[in-house]
Structure 1
């Protein structure tokens, strides 16, 4: 498990994930497009395990979560250096937080396949994108059990590392396999989008997919 998790994006999704990661005892470095000084209120709210840095420093972490609007993803990736096997978690959605029912046209590819092609040397894992930000901000577990968090990726070790992070922060990880198959299921108009599954559904969901 990475000692420090980098989160690119300080919107509702990035802040929710940062809060869960901090609650699990891990450190977070956070950034946005406006610079570290603008994140002082967020850092103060989340506590001493969170730091605000420049984008290049956050993107240099061993495990980096992209939680920014889809149109900004590829241009930013093209500015960053090669990833050299580090893990890039794609938490983006090609729609506006489930308010836009369709997808951006990506030539038949999923967002994660586009991310993989744009991030040289990254091991891409798709997750944290099937719950609306308002649900993602809630505790991962409730009286019904743990909410399911789906993940997919082409690198087995990267999926295992991200699955461990998902479990650490309180969700029940469900591995959907490859990017092309699993990411399609997680798209905004896919069958798993905006679902709030608890751990009691894990076995049946696994069999379905």
Structure 2
């Protein structure tokens, strides 16, 4: 299984740090040339591989960590997203009317034709997501929502490999609203920093 993070701002770097902490390889890409963020990637660790957007979207699992308004541009990188799992780690300040009243993740899913979309890793502030998820014998929770149960299970397994405790919230029209941040409509679980003890 290959992984990529599209976007190398605060959330993208926090995700890259999670991969580096666990010795897992992940490609990172932006709309800029890889040379422009090569040294930043190297500072995180040797498993963080700078690539072009066109190269990065060849990965099996792709984290969207760009500004919300940039996701349609990323979606154009492939004509068909069949076989890909896309993790929507974005939030937006745009009003609900702009997405026809849909949760932001359901709106994003329309742009990535054929992809298995999972909403996740978006409810934590970047500074919290960046920390080691092992806390006092427990693991920091990440919430996942998807209309594809198998995709959600796969990303749950990845979250565990990254040291987090995944909690499945159901479909995008159910759990998606709980971790939805759009305009002034904040899901009940946004910015909740919870720890799970086994």
Structure 1-normalised TM-score? Answer: 0.87
> Structure 2 matches for 1:133-172, cutoff 5 A?
133-143=126-136, 145-172=138-165
Q: Report whether the alignment pairs 1:71 with 2:64.
A: no
Q: Which structure: greater helix fraction? A: 1
Structure 2, unmatched stretches of 5+, are: none
Q: CA deviation at 1:76?
A: 2.5
Structure 1, unmatched stretches of 5+, are: 203-209
User: What is the aligned length?
Assistant: 194
SS of 2:62's equivalent in the other structure is strand
Q: CA deviation at 1:30?
A: 0.3
Q: Report whether the alignment pairs 1:196 with 2:193.
A: yes
Instruction: Note closer, same or farther for the CA distance 1:79–1:58 as it changes in structure 2 (3 Å cut).
Output: closer
SS of 2:37's equivalent in the other structure is helix
Match of 1:107 in 2: 100
- Measure the CA separation in 2 of the matches of 1:168 and 1:68: 23
Match of 1:175 in 2: 168
Match of 1:206 in 2: none
Instruction: State whether residues 142 and 159 of structure 2, in contact with CA within 8 Å, keep that contact through their aligned partners in structure 1.
Output: yes
| Higher mean displacement: 57-66 or 35-44 | 35-44
CA RMSD of aligned residues (A): 1.8
**Structure 1 runs of 4+ off > 4 angstroms?**
none
Instruction: State whether residues 30 and 58 of structure 1, in contact with CA within 8 Å, keep that contact through their aligned partners in structure 2.
Output: yes
Instruction: State whether residues 144 and 198 of structure 1, in contact with CA within 8 Å, keep that contact through their aligned partners in structure 2.
Output: no
